[in-house]
Structure 1
Amino acid sequence: MRKKILVLHKILGLTTGIVVFVVAITGCCWAFRDEIESLYDDYKTVTPQETAILTPTEAREIAQTVFPDNSIHGTLFKNSNDAAVEVIFYDAEPEFYQSVFLNPYSGEIIQVDNHMSGFFAFILKGHMRMWLPKSIGEQVVRISILIFLFIIISGIVLWWPKKRKNLKQRVTFDWKSTTRWKRKNFDLHTVIGFYICWLALIIAFTGSVISYDWLKYVVYVSTGGDKVPAFIIPENVSETPKDAYAVLPMDNLITKLKKEAPHAESYELHYPESDSTSVYVEISNTKGLYYDSDYRFFDQNTLEEIETPAIFGKYKDAKFADKVLRMNYDIHIGAIGGIVGKIIAFLVSLIVATLPITGVLLWYGRNYKKKKA
């Protein structure tokens, strides 16, 4: 059985090695994206003024002059007097993702950011789809990471010593001046692999949950979930009025939410897609975290709050299974543990990137031995 597992471990490792290497290396680079980008985002700060800020409708109209043919995903209002307003544009086909930053007091266009270009956009494309076309690359990465889960588990089985006395040899580097490079490479692959295998398993599994809806459903149901594990925007509860509003109710929503949630980090308002769709606002409660955000839905005519049947609602109403699924992304990038968690995720990803290299060298050394004189 161990021989069969070893054969599978080698074949699968060789076929998916390049994908695992790229995904791991790009994951390292992504870990500190927020901290690095904060070093050069001075344009997101403005001078506070004693005047009213832009309403969501005014922000939308100004930003739409920059990209009149593209769809606005939402407008982000920071809970700070010196923060710019960010209007986010997004279209799936053809893919378009840019932000227009506005002075919240004057409406002046400060800067336009293209999220599809630059270093971190390049890194994300490699992490998500190996820089291949989206339809092909995403499938390659998804399948490879799912296989990598089996590789990790089979590696633990192969690592496990048959005798207890050999355990010390499997958990320490016993290198001497006479130790050959093959032995050192074997230790690098097995000893280091053992120490990070459990964390690598968590990162790979949470990545697969992000990729596969069926796996997300399995995780949710198996942890006792009884809601819909998806994002659902409810319909309005009132009828669409015939007369136009002098001031759209939606324009009073940010002021209302700032009073109700004064300690929030930001409020991202999403415009209704039709006359019958509710307005939803994502309230970020903690900087750098997503799982504890509040997703609130309001009738666009009366601002009456509407409950959603899905797991993405108010965080205080979330049950254990809801929280598990909500935390998945923050666990994946290490943000769940703050800066320490990100450092751990960075180091684990970096070490995982070395495993395909030491594995290939291990395979090469065993299959292409030098002939004795």
Structure 2
Amino acid sequence: MASRTKSAFLQVHSIIGLAISLILGLIGLTGAMLSFEDEIVAALNRDIAHVEVRPAPVLLPDALVAIVQAVPGSGKVGAVSMSSEPGATVRLRFARGEDDGRSSVYVDPYDGRVLAAMRGEGFFATLRALHRWLLLPGGGKGVGRQVTGVAVLGLFVLLISGMVLRWPRRVRSIKSGIKTWLKPNLAMRGRPFHWSLHSVVGTWLLPIYLVSILTGLWWSFDWYKDSAIWLLSSKPAVTTQAPRAAKGATKAGSADAPAAPSFDKVWSTFLADQGSRYALVNMQLPNGAGSVVRVRSVAKDAPFEEARDEFRIDGVTGRMVSAERYNDKSTGDRILAAVLHIHTGAFLGLPGRIVFLLAAALMPLFTVTGFILYFSRRRLRAASKPGRRHAVGLVPGE
């Protein structure tokens, strides 16, 4: 009975592995390359991230946006990112499809002069799209999300079935059992070596892959994200409907035309609430019709960059629509806010990020060794004598 059960699990393990191993290898490699994106981008843009501090006052966001958009060929600015650090340049991000493919530019906060486009942003944006939805049509709303999600679910099945295949019928001693499970036999050659490498490294990395699976599905399936929010959040999910126009707003062009949101009004309301407590702040215009601007800020004492305060501010009236501060969140809400932080291993500090990077980079190892084991198993079974219960050259568990 045990032999039949392991044979069934081996079939499941092999079929799913053959179907998704290439996708998992690609997801692992791209994930490893994204692990230190922020540090790499910061290094690439170090010379334009700051300007010399001058006695002149810095310009307000609307003035900076107006100067940049007045340049022929420039597109519409969709977001403004600012730092409280003296001399830090302002980052303006164009709306999608604007400015001939440029996404962000750095601007001198004193005179609005464009210093340079953000280096490395396009490369990492493409790499992130490849990691999350394989560059398939539709982007984040297309079928690519589901494909990667199914592959990640398949990885979960591979981990469980792999552990069942490794489970010994009887363990002679704790010492020998641990040695067999956790130490690869590097003295072996050929197929037994590949099997040892495949199984032992997979056992070591299983906890890391489980964390990656549980957090990675957040970006693939809405039902998974909604379920996590329902389970962990202290309050029900609320969708803020942005008003088309504020009552009494200034009308331009026609009687029905809504007033455009003002970054200055949002900025003024934000400063009145936060003062000098913020380190970074991003103000993003609504994608469609509406005047409510999304503001995300990181406090100077924030434990990590994803520990953000989030505000909704009406860009026409300056009214604070909603405010969610990280320090006021429950434990469950803090976990939800830290999904990316957990997914990359950053919640364990720099050692955690390095370990998660190595685990992601090793994913192609299982693709290669898995294919080797599968095709060599078929060859050995085909060459074995009729009537033999176990083909010569196969290792226990196969």
Shorter-chain TM-score range: 0.7 to 0.9
Give, as a single letter, the amino acid of the residue that structure 2 aligns with 1:241: A
How has the CA–CA distance of structure 1 residues 231 and 345 changed in structure 2, closer, same or farther, with 3 Å as cutoff? farther
- State how far apart, in whole Å, the 2-side matches of 1:93 and 1:45 are: 25
Which residue in 2 is equivalent to 1:34?
A: 38
Q: Deviations over 1:66-102 (max 9, x none)?
A: 5867443210011111111111113279995601211
Residues 1:360 and 2:371 aligned together: yes
Structure 1 portions without partners, runs of 5+? none
Which residue in 2 is equivalent to 1:146?
A: 153
- State how far apart, in whole Å, the 1-side matches of 2:287 and 2:367 are: 46
- State how far apart, in whole Å, the 1-side matches of 2:58 and 2:219 are: 37
The answer as to whether partners of 2:44 and 2:119 remain within 8 angstroms in 1 is: no
Deviates more, 1:349-358 or 1:279-288: 279-288
* SS of match in other structure, 1:368: helix
Which residue in 2 is equivalent to 1:171?
A: 182
Which residue in 1 is equivalent to 2:199?
A: 190
Q: Deviations over 1:153-205 (max 9, x none)?
A: 222222222222262312222443xx232111111111110011111111122
* SS of match in other structure, 1:265: strand
For 1:1-373, list aligned pairs within 5 A: 1-41=5-45, 42-66=47-71, 70-91=75-96, 98-113=103-118, 117-118=122-123, 120-133=124-137, 134=139, 135-165=142-172, 167-168=177-178, 169-176=180-187, 179-223=188-232, 225-228=234-237, 232=240, 235=243, 239-242=247-250, 250-251=263-264, 253-254=266-267, 257=270, 260-271=274-285, 277-285=291-299, 289-307=304-322, 313-369=324-380, 371=383
RMSD of aligned C-alpha atoms? Answer: 3.2
- State how far apart, in whole Å, the 1-side matches of 2:244 and 2:275 are: 23
- State how far apart, in whole Å, the 1-side matches of 2:262 and 2:125 are: 36
* SS of match in other structure, 1:150: helix
The answer as to whether partners of 2:41 and 2:119 remain within 8 angstroms in 1 is: no
The answer as to whether partners of 1:240 and 1:275 remain within 8 angstroms in 2 is: no
Deviates more, 1:198-207 or 1:280-289: 280-289
Runs of 4+ in 1 over 6 A off after TM superposition: 92-95
TM-score (normalised: structure 2)? 0.80
* SS of match in other structure, 1:241: coil
Deviates more, 1:292-301 or 1:322-331: 292-301
How has the CA–CA distance of structure 1 residues 161 and 70 changed in structure 2, closer, same or farther, with 3 Å as cutoff? farther
The answer as to whether partners of 1:9 and 1:151 remain within 8 angstroms in 2 is: yes
1:122 CA drift (Å): 4.0
How has the CA–CA distance of structure 1 residues 40 and 242 changed in structure 2, closer, same or farther, with 3 Å as cutoff? closer
TM-score (normalised: structure 1)? 0.85
Structure 2 portions without partners, runs of 5+? 253-260, 386-398
Identical pairs, percent: 22
- State how far apart, in whole Å, the 2-side matches of 1:347 and 1:185 are: 19
The answer as to whether partners of 2:41 and 2:121 remain within 8 angstroms in 1 is: no
- State how far apart, in whole Å, the 2-side matches of 1:95 and 1:331 are: 35
How many residues align? The count is 362
The answer as to whether partners of 1:237 and 1:299 remain within 8 angstroms in 2 is: no
How has the CA–CA distance of structure 1 residues 349 and 275 changed in structure 2, closer, same or farther, with 3 Å as cutoff? closer
Rg comparison, structure with higher value:
2
